[in-house]
Copies of this chain bind each other. A is one copy, B any other.
Amino acid sequence: MYGLLTGVRIVEGASFIAGPYCSLLLSQLGAEIIRFDAIGGGPDYRRWPLGPGGNSLYWEGLNKGKKSIALNLGMPEGRELAIAIITAEGTDSGIFVTNYPESGLLSHDSLCTLRRDLVTARVLGHADGSSAVDYTVNCAVGLPYMTGPQGSERVPINHVLPAWDLLAGSTAAISVLAAIEYRRRTGLGQHIRIPLSDVAAATLGTLGQIAEVAISGTDRPKYGNNLFGAFGRDFGCADGKRVMIVAITSKQWRALIAALDLQSSISALEAEAGISLDADEGARFLHRDRINAIVEQAIARYTLATLSQRLTTSGVCFGVYRTVHEALTEDPSFVESNPIFADVQHPSGLKYPTPGFPASFSGEVRRDSSAAPILGRDTEEVLTTILRIPSAALASLHDRGVVRLADRLLSPS
């Protein structure tokens, strides 16, 4: 996609989201990613959503643009090959992204006996090594008890976005880049451990939510769809469409008042309550029931088309609630005309809009996203170029089930 990290080579032995997402991001910036999998695929190879033929669209999404090698990790020779690829020489290689167990053959310490300056980025559930996934971390940090309608405090509502997986993957990518920088300066490698549960705890702390509860001694209740601490909520239009309107800054607040002609009713509320809603964002939250009623009535008068025009003209910060299908068909900026997407054909045989890196670089031309690999597609290339294994030996490795060479499966001898 971009060439900023050209020359960096990363070996990925990981499944699901966090590890694969880490190397996907680095791949999109120009790093070469060699992903190894068990022959037949790892535990994420059939993860939903699936295409009509049973291929995992999730796997294709997370592994696009990577090289794929297929090894039998149950055989000592297969494991030796994985180890050799991870620890192969090269200036900006020797980087391993994984969610494999910490001990054993693929432990950082044992790999370091072959390459001393190895950088291992290991995503894991809990810092103590115990098992956790995004959904079991999320429930433990309080968010499901803050999500959903007011008054339903003890009814947890799970999130549907695996935010902790994604943030752990991003944090891993940042850590890998910092470790490469450090290694260049000092010659030293790193074993980086990124526990999902620590990513979640640190994030809540950074947002002030741990301080809030530690100091007050009480939990933040559910506030429904109200934005916390300023003005923001969903509202229905005359045609049944819904919008999210936000006024955190004074400028956003004044734009809203102007767009909906609310000056007199808001002034009356301010006079009655002795507050300035313009100057004090917190007052907008404390008096949200009164404000919501005023805004609700104003918005219900307009269809979405008319409302959008008014809000846009005044510079109000708002968004339209859409399903994914509605976003795909009604909002060209989402995917259809969005330059980060390209129609790409994947191993499933399906061609669909495939995103690249979600940032643009003025000094680099964006290239379209690559397809996901067919499992084992690059086994032969990687073994011959990086490990310099001769062709005859390759055939034997394939025939003995140590590796899978994609082309031999397509046209078996």
From B132, B193, B331, A359 is in contact (CB under 8 Å) with B193
Considering the complex, give the chain B residue whose CB is closest to the CB of A217. Answer: B325
Chain A 127-155 interface mask (CB, 8 Å, partner B; 1/0): 11011110111111111111111000000
From B181, B325, B362, A219 is in contact (CB under 8 Å) with B325
Interface size class of A (residues with CB under 8 A): 35 or more
Interface residues of A in 14-68 (CB under 8 A from B): 16-17, 21, 24-26, 29-30, 43, 46-52, 56-62
Interface residues of A in 194-249 (CB under 8 A from B): 194-195, 197-199, 201-215, 217-220, 224-225, 227-230, 232, 234, 242-246, 248-249
Q: A49-B212, A193-B360, A209-B324 are in contact. List 6 more A-B contacts (CB 8 A).
A: A48-B285, A139-B242, A158-B224, A177-B177, A202-B357, A205-B355
Is A211 a contact of B49 with CB atoms below 8 Å?
yes
Chain A 295-329 interface mask (CB, 8 Å, partner B; 1/0): 00000000000000000100101111111111110
- A108 close to B (CB within 8 Å): yes
Considering the complex, give the chain B residue whose CB is closest to the CB of A160. Answer: B146
Which residues from B are CB-within-8-Å of A362?
A: 108, 190-192
Q: Is the interface of A mostly helix, strand, loop or mixed?
A: mixed
Is B145 a contact of A321 with CB atoms below 8 Å?
yes
Which residues from B are CB-within-8-Å of A56?
A: 208
